[in-house]
């Protein structure tokens, strides 16, 4: 049986995933809900989270010489 952790324990992996979830939520709100301001807000906050937490990994991939 899987032991659930309390919501206070938020690991680095959860923060990375939160950014991606916010981007997707923003896109869904913009295109399906036709709420551009709210959707754009979620999208931008998710983009900032993703750049902060995934940024070093993305830059490491982009610096590879064997493309």
Q: What per-residue confidence (pLDDT) applies to 47?
A: 86
Average pLDDT, the chain: 77
In this structure, is residue 32 part of a structural domain?
yes
Q: What per-residue confidence (pLDDT) applies to 2?
A: 66
In this structure, is residue 1 part of a structural domain?
no
In this structure, is residue 27 part of a structural domain?
yes
44-56: per-residue pLDDT in tens? Answer: 888 888 888 777 7
Q: Kindly report the pTM of this predicted structure.
A: 0.63
In this structure, is residue 7 part of a structural domain?
no
For residue 44, what are the domain limits? 13-56
In this structure, is residue 50 part of a structural domain?
yes
In this structure, is residue 28 part of a structural domain?
yes
DSSP collapsed to 3 states, the chain = CCCCCCCCCCCHHHHHHHHHHHHHHHHHHHHHCCCHHHHHHHHHHHHHHHHHHHHHHHHHHHCCCCC
Number of folded domains that form the chain: 1
In this structure, is residue 3 part of a structural domain?
no
Residues of the chain with pLDDT under 70: 1-2, 5-8, 10-13, 59, 62, 64-67
In this structure, is residue 20 part of a structural domain?
yes
């Amino acid at each position: 049986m899987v032991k659930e952790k309390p919501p206070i324990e938020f690991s680095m992996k959860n923060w990375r995933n939160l950014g991606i979830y916010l981007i997707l939520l923003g896109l869904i709100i913009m295109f399906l809900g036709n709420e551009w301001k709210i959707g754009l807000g979620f999208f931008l906050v998710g983009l900032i989270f993703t750049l902060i937490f995934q940024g070093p990994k993305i830059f490491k991939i982009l610096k590879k010489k064997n493309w």
